[in-house]
Amino acid sequence: MIHPVIMAGGVGMRFWPLSTPSRPKQFLPLIHSKKSMFQLTLENILSWTEVNKDNIWVVTHQNFKLLVKKQASRLRSSHCLLEPMMRNTAPCIGWAAKKIVEKDPEATMVVLPADNWIDDKKKLIQDLKTAAHFVEQNPNSLYIEMGGRKEQQLFRVKQFIEKPDLKQARQMLKTKRYLWNGGMFVWKAKTILQELKKYEPSIFEGLQKLSLQNLNSVYKKFPTISIDYAVMERSKNVAVQKASFQWTDIGSWEGLSSLRRSRARKWIQLDSKNCFIDVPQKTVATVGVSDLIVVDTPHGLLICHKKDTQRVKEISKLIE
């Protein structure tokens, strides 16, 4: 059986002041006027006819329990795994894999981030079907779904490099042999557990004794590490597919500005260019400015140059 897992535990610090600790970006209607990024991801999965909604899982922080319940009331509450603290993606994927194997030892696990924008869900599902079929035929493989524009193609991964520095990234681009990891994974649940046992034994051992009674004490001992560093860079059993859909990891206001129009009750522009406004309840006027992000919410006002949107995450530390 197919068991999709939606990772929805991030804090979205780069989307202040719209994203807050109690309502982070994945639960906000960033693209759609009403539906959150989490809801759009769930919609994509539910369009896969072979997927039973009772086999869908969500991993998120315990503070977001009510948000998940409100935005995904159709999901089984027992399939919402609530982390007591954030430990990046390796522990949360491992926890989901453990729970899935307990119910379905031969399950194929599809891991999707809750905050990705995908232009064509039909193409996404078709690619995921291809991935799931490959994993059924090659159960020891770890299969990565990539974001891109080209035809479906399957490759054995020679090298997985997580977050290269700028110089290395430029060299990689020149070779035209590298793809961008879209953060979507397909594998047998039991296989990813075996890979964690091999490469991150402390996580695997913690998972074996993890229960609702000792969740806090065990979870806080997990290392804070992504599945990319924990397994994907180390494993010799990784395959990759060029996706047939277009994909964007919406990681900043600048990135969002390339996907949708500004929102304002009325926007008066005088000698202004290339600005992005998110002030739905007010009239906004910009005069003689360019390349600005302007966001106004009850939590605060952001005025930022587009080239500095990655620095927005620093604001949360100063507010604290």
Q: In Å, what is the CA distance from 273 to each residue of 152, 231, 285, 302, 309? A: 38, 45, 12, 18, 17
Contact 123, 145 (CB under 8 A): no
The two beta strands, 238-242 and 108-113, are unpaired
Contact 89, 161 (CB under 8 A): no
Say what the pTM is.
0.89
Residue written as tokens 């926890």? 95
Domains of the chain: 2-249 (3.90.550.10), 253-319 (no CATH)
pLDDT at 164: 60
pLDDT at 319: 81
pLDDT at 159: 53
Cα gap 207→47, rounded to integer Å: 32
Q: How many CB atoms lie within 10 A of CB 281?
A: 10
* Burial group, residue 287, by CB count within 10 angstroms (0-12, 13-18, 19+): exposed
Radius of gyration of the chain (CA): 20
Residue written as tokens 């949708």? 260
| Rounded mean pLDDT for each run of 10 residues along the chain, 320 residues in total | 95 92 94 94 95 96 96 93 96 98 97 93 94 91 60 54 63 59 89 97 97 95 94 87 83 92 96 96 96 95 96 87
Cα gap 145→163, rounded to integer Å: 17
Cα gap 315→319, rounded to integer Å: 6
The two beta strands, 292-297 and 300-305, are antiparallel
pLDDT at 175: 56
* Helical spans, DSSP H, in the chain: 37-46, 65-71, 89-103, 121-137, 166-175, 189-199, 201-209, 215-219, 227, 253-257, 313-319
